[in-house]
Amino acid sequence: MIITKEELDIRTIPLREKYSTISKRFKDLKVGESFVIISDYDSKQFRNQMDTEYGEAKFSWEYLEDGLDKWKIRIHKKAGCHQ
């Protein structure tokens, strides 16, 4: 069972701070927890950065909503991730 802690709306965060905000929120999760980011575009570059930093096996990235002006993506911390 995935426990979603909260939503993080990154639409108003300056671009240079978005990934560090997402990464910090991910680090604060316990294994099995998740959070949802809300964006106004597909945030694939942040997924690529997470792949590089944590490895694909440590998290899941699930699109909950992919619209023209609003995207919702659940980021889930998997077992084996101790960062």
Domain residue ranges of the chain, discontinuous segments joined by +: 3-77
The distance in angstroms from the start CA to the end CA of the chain is 21
Question: What is the reported pLDDT for 2?
Answer: 64
Cα separation, 47 vs 32, whole angstroms: 18
Rounded Cα–Cα distance for residues 3 and 15 (Å): 27
Q: What pLDDT, on the 0 to 100 scale, is given for residue 67?
A: 84
Return the amino acid letter for 58.
K
63, with CB counted inside 10 A (0-12, 13-18, 19+), is exposed
Residue with tokens 């709306």: 9
Q: Answer yes or no: CATH 3.30.110.40 is held by domain 3-77.
A: yes
What's the pLDDT score for residue 79? 81
Confidence of residue 69 (pLDDT cuts 50, 70, 90): confident
